[in-house]
Amino acid sequence: MTAFVMVVPAAREMCGNGRKANTESHIMAADNRSGSVSGLTESEAKAFHGVFMTSFIIFTVIALIAHFLVWNWRPWLPGPGGYASLMDGVNYAASYITSFKA
């Protein structure tokens, strides 16, 4: 009976796809990061900045649209009648809700 022995390389020698990594290129890439506070290379930082700015602009546009729609539905600053006119709406809503209990 023969024993089958499989040699498994150390994790530091493997790439993400299971092939043996070129450790010298990884060491050189780490040397390029030494001047950065974030630990990213310049190209990685530019790519991250692009994704961040795009998502920030999309979020801001969605927030502006939402605020505009809510303002049209219910303005959060009182009209010419002041806050007293808001009490009419509150009284109407309260009477409407209590009508369901009866």
* Per-residue pLDDT tens digits for 77-97: 777 777 676 677 788 888 888
Q: How many domains does the chain have?
A: 1
Residue 41 lies in a domain: yes
Residue 24 lies in a domain: yes
User: How open is the CA angle 43-39-12, to the nearest 5 degrees?
Assistant: 100
pLDDT of residue 62: 98
Residue 3 lies in a domain: no
pLDDT of residue 67: 96
pLDDT of residue 21 exceeding 60, the answer is no
Question: Domain range holding 25?
Answer: 11-98
Residue 55 lies in a domain: yes
* Per-residue pLDDT tens digits for 27-75: 555 555 566 788 999 999 999 999 999 999 999 999 999 999 998 888 7
Residue in 11, 7, 32 with CA at minimum distance from that of residue 20: 11
Residue 2 lies in a domain: no
Residue 5 lies in a domain: no
Q: What's the longest Cα–Cα distance across the chain?
A: 97
Residue 23 lies in a domain: yes
